[in-house]
Amino acid sequence: MTTTHAPSAPLPEVLSQAARRRTFAVISHPDAGKSTLTEALALHARVIGSAGAVHGKAGRRGTVSDWMDMEKARGISITSAALQFEYRDAVVNLLDTPGHADFSEDTYRVLTAVDAAVMLIDAAKGLEAQTMKLFAVCKHRGIPVITVVNKWDRPGKDALELMDEVSERTGLTPTPLTWPVGISGDFRGVLDRRDGSYHRFTRTAGGATIAPEEVLPAAAALAREGDAWTTAVEESELLDATEADHDQERFLAGETTPVIFASAVSNFGVGALLDILVDLAPAPTPRPDAEGAARPVEAPFSAFVFKVQSGMDAAHRDRLAYIRIASGVFERGMVVTHSTTGRPFATKYAQHVFGRDRESVDVAYPGDVVGLVNANALHVGDTLYADAKVTYPPLTTFAPEHFAVVRGKDTAKFKQFRRGIGQLNSEGVAQVLRSDRRGDAAPVLAVVGPMQFEVAVHRMENEFGAPVSIDHLPYTIAVRTDAASAPAVAAARGVEVLQREDGELLALFMDKWDLRTLQQRNPELTLEPMVAAQL
């Protein structure tokens, strides 16, 4: 019988603490400014002293959320990052996500762990391919979305044109809470549509500190800004005529998206976003378990693993499992049950995460993201619980589209090679496939996007001390098969059957025509499609 440590916090305390939580992800098409906005939000919450761009331009330091060497070198987010801080009376759990489609699985997993999303739209580019896919995923998961039109300090599209684009292409009704004063490229401030006031911004050197903000009444705004203010007021009145005003119930139901205009790099409009998140974003709600029953936030402790990451602490080479607390209270040191194995799991080393920096956490509540250190038994999708058993739905594994054999360059480092490959698999960086024919020294890495190979090669050498070579394979499709069908499938021309680390058998095909031909000729064979990458 497993011994569990029951939470000591009284029921009203759990509910009141959960009500304070705001857990959200920042999402967008690549290069729309996610990491810059993440930094700016932390700056406005006054938990860092200065904000910086990934490349450290203009003397600004690197972002706290992009901590991998590859992220700093390329200026993109390769892995998600968690930041927690307090703002006003709320506890904010902010998750910055990769934008590149090659890392869509990481983004999708993060979206299982949040209660709201902040969608960035580039003012010049509008709704891009990844933007649309992310909107679709949020709709599918019932995640309310707050939209930020970013980079308004640069030349771009017309504001009303952007609102029409959001409405027509996403099906959501945009309900702007702020409206720009000055066209894109001439960002002076915003009209707050809720009270008619003017918030005028003043630039700071490099945008590294909070931009001063002056609040003026309408008459003073007209005197200062003239035609720019008049245009903003007229456009806002047009929005009034189309009923583009915020309605909280419709927002939470996924029918509307509140919109604000901002420049994350200049820190314009970021303070308003923080206030909107605290005021409008939902607190944690009951989460459905694997059986579809909603588990109340005040129920005994439960959480699920949505991310595993190693290499964050170069000095200790530790492994961090990120859990989203779904119910109850977490207390460091409590012994809980690992749903997959039924075994007890001690939570001695628990930490709050702020990018790469961490500090021990003694207590946490529903909505919080906690990092469990050296949790080698935990994998993405696992559930932890206290008292009555609960299991949350497994996280989706996308169908890989790119395949490569990986081999260690130094046979003397096979132990490091095997450990590194196992770690990449457990983190979900790549699916690791094996077969007796290829042997343990030449596993196949299966990924959604080719950039994941670059990450794997980089980490194998720099993190695990095992340089590797990659040989790409000609396959483009993976489907599930079973032990009964595997011999006949493997005998087909141009097909290979390998086993995933979890025991699943995957058949790899060069193209859809080969797959279709085999299915037509042998309808009795098990050839089941996997979930296609949705992002």
Q: Binding site for GTP: which residues?
A: 96-100
CA distances from 210 to 70, 216, 227, 269, 270 (A): 28, 19, 27, 10, 9
Q: H or E element: which one contains 90?
A: strand 90-96
Name the residue with tokens 């998206």.
257
Nearest to 213 by CA among 288, 275, 278: 275
- The answer to whether residues 186 and 156 touch, using CB atoms and an 8 Å cutoff, is no
The rounded distance, in Å, linking the Cα atoms of 272 and 286 is 28
Name the residue with tokens 């709704």.
127
- The answer to whether residues 115 and 281 touch, using CB atoms and an 8 Å cutoff, is yes
The rounded distance, in Å, linking the Cα atoms of 22 and 18 is 9
The rounded distance, in Å, linking the Cα atoms of 199 and 65 is 29
CA distances from 296 to 112, 189, 329 (A): 17, 42, 12
Q: Binding site: which residues?
A: 96-100
Cα of first residue to Cα of last residue in the chain, in angstroms, is 42
Question: 374-383: string of b/e by CB count within 10 Å (b at 16+)?
Answer: ebeebbbbbb
- The answer to whether residues 335 and 314 touch, using CB atoms and an 8 Å cutoff, is no
Kindly tell me the burial class for residue 480, based on how many C-beta atoms sit within 10 Å of its own C-beta (0-12, 13-18, 19 or more). middle
Q: Retrieve residue 23's tokens.
A: 């857990």
Nearby residues of 418 by Cβ (< 8 Å), 6 or more positions away: 440
Nearest to 454 by CA among 74, 81, 67: 74
Orientation of helix 159-170 relative to helix 129-141, angle to 10°: 50
Name the residue with tokens 């090679």.
417
Kindly tell me the burial class for residue 217, based on how many C-beta atoms sit within 10 Å of its own C-beta (0-12, 13-18, 19 or more). exposed
The rounded distance, in Å, linking the Cα atoms of 115 and 122 is 23
- Long-range CB contacts for residues 33-36, cutoff 8 Å, separation at least 24: 33/120, 33/122, 33/150, 33/151, 33/264, 33/265, 34/77, 34/96, 34/97, 34/99, 34/120, 35/63, 35/65, 35/66, 35/77, 35/96, 36/63, 36/264, 36/265
